[in-house]
Structure 1
Amino acid sequence: MNISIQNLLILLLFPLLLSAYEESKNHKEFTVVEGMVYCQSCEHTGSWSLEGAKPLASAKVGIACKDHKKRVWFYKAIQTDHTGYYYAPIQGMEGTEGVKKKEISGCSIHLLASSDSTCNLLTNINLGIAGAGVGDGKKVMKEKGYEVVVYAAPPLAFRQVNCVPADH
């Protein structure tokens, strides 16, 4: 029996290739959007500055994802924790092919409500009213059998109710 080196390599590498194929077939990918919500300081009312802003606990943001025909295929309202941070998994992007830029680019985050009655006026800082894009910045966390792709949304902010306008 005459076995070529090429066939011998295939026979030796076949178990490794099969294992890698099975692992990739069972590989799950999850997409998450994270971000912060703040209460803008009175000194910067009317600007997009977040200098001196305080994290806003229990604020609500909405995350909407649209397809190429502008149809909403995912929507979720999420509440910030005590530090003003939110972490929102997006269902519908799971798969074995990975997250495509065009899919995440159809998602936007917007302000919904503040739990603080002294800081509950909407601002359009980073398009908080119009809908902030998720952006290209992402981090990937990998574990055996799955990976989590986390996109960082820009910070959003409410403004205070009783700010005295500054004299310019």
Structure 2
Amino acid sequence: MGVCSVSRACCLLLLLLLFLTVRPLSALPSELSLAAIPATTLAHAPGHQPHGPNPHHHHHHLLAPGPSPLYAPAHAPAEHHHHHNVHAPAPAPAPGPYVAHGPTKAPVHTPSHAPVHTPSQAPAVPHMSRSFIAVQGVVYCKSCKYPGVDTLLGATPLLEAEVKLQCNSSRRPVVVSAKTDKNGYFFVKAPKTVTTYAFHKCKVSLVSSPSSSACKKPSDLHGGLCGATLRPEKHFVANKLPFVLFSVGPLAFEPQCPR
């Protein structure tokens, strides 16, 4: 029983001491409580002040995004500058097509006319194919009004006038004769030994006129005296043989008119 009483007494003593220590601290005024705060407690006071600027610092973060949209629209002139670059090359391609139209029209006209004229001369080629030769012509008696003049004014066809076709395509000349009809027309064929390959070596000349005619002297009209050249006319077939018809003249004899 003595031990229990002692322990109870100790507990009461400790509670009394604790009450006495806490009581004076709570009884102090608010002004003295700040002065009585130890240095360690004051050291924590500024520690809470940095937390105060935190809202202020956070307020700066709110202001920072403010100027950022101000710089964003500042880039708008960049698009306007790009718009100027678009206008600069726009007029450049415009003169290009106009220069190109000039030379395109020039070559179009030159070849268009060239083929038109060339085919017109092509039909002359068939005349050079190997065929036999036939010659036609007319012989006239000139008028006494124009003796010695190369004209057929007042001339009349001469009947039974003799002409010759002479071809010098070989060593020995080939000669064929023919006489005119009442219209002064004659037709003569060259020998089969002569073809159109050598027609340029053949000529027709006047030989004689009938004794009853007043025209006795051969004239050199169209080469009747020295030899008339052959002009190709057309192709034809005689006795299943190919021929080329040539023409000469017209030829004429000079008249012997009374003075």
Unaligned runs of 5+ in 1: 1-27
Determine helix, strand or coil for the equivalent of 2:222: helix
Q: Secondary structure at the match of 1:43?
A: coil
Show the counterpart of 2:136.
Answer: 34
Distance 1:145 1:59, change over 3 A: closer
Cα 1:127–1:29 shift into 2, 3 Å: closer
Instruction: Describe the shift of the 1:104–1:161 C-alpha distance in structure 2 as closer, same or farther (beyond 3 A).
Output: same
* 1:53 maps to amino acid: A
For 2:155, give the aligned amino acid. A
Query: Alpha carbons of 1:144 and 1:124: their partners in 2 closer, same or farther (altered >3 Å)?
Result: closer
Name the % identity.
28
5 Å matches for 1:116-155?
116-135=212-231, 137-142=232-237, 145-155=240-250
Q: Work out the CA distance in 2 between the residues paired with 1:91 and 1:51.
A: 35
1:118 and 1:141 map into 2 onto residues whose CA distance is 37
CA shift digits 1:93-140 (9 cap, x unpaired): 56xxx722xx111111111110143111221111111111113x3211
> Aligned partners of 1:60, 1:121: CA distance in 2, in Å?
12
Q: What corresponds to 1:5 in structure 2?
A: none
Instruction: Report if the CA contact (8 A) 2:144-2:256 is conserved.
Output: no
Report whether the alignment pairs 1:85 with 2:185. Answer: yes
Letter in 2 for 1:48: D
Aligned to 1:104, what secondary structure does the other structure show? helix
Partner residue in 2 for 1:22: none
The answer on whether the counterparts of 1:31 and 1:93 sit within 8 Å (CA) in structure 2 is no
- Deviation of the 1:142 alpha carbon: 4.3
Q: Distance in 2 between matches of 1:60 and 1:144?
A: 26
Structure 1 residue 148: Cα displacement: 2.4
Q: Note the alpha carbon deviations across 1:64-88, whole angstroms, 9 max, x for none.
A: 0012x7x443101211112111100
| Root mean square deviation, CA, Å | 2.3
Q: Unaligned stretches of 5+ in structure 2?
A: 1-129
The alpha-carbon deviation at position 29 of structure 1 amounts to 3.9
- Name the amino acid aligned to 1:31: I
Give the structure with the larger strand fraction. 1
Is residue 2:160 matched to residue 1:58? yes
Q: CA deviation at 1:53?
A: 1.1
Rg (Cα) greater in structure = 2
Whether contact under 8 Å (1:74, 1:92) holds in the other structure is no
Residue equivalent to 1:4: none
Corresponding residue SS for 1:92: coil
Task: Tell me which protein shows more helix as a share of its residues.
Answer: 2
- What residue is the counterpart of 1:112 in the other structure? 207
Where does 1:95-106 land on structure 2 (aligned, <5 Å)?
Answer: 99-100=196-197, 103-106=198-201
The size of the alignment, in residue pairs, is 129
- SS at 1:105 equivalent: helix
1:156 paired residue number: 251
Aligned CA distance change for structure 1 residues 83 and 158 (closer, same or farther; 3 Å): same
Q: Secondary structure at the match of 2:135?
A: strand
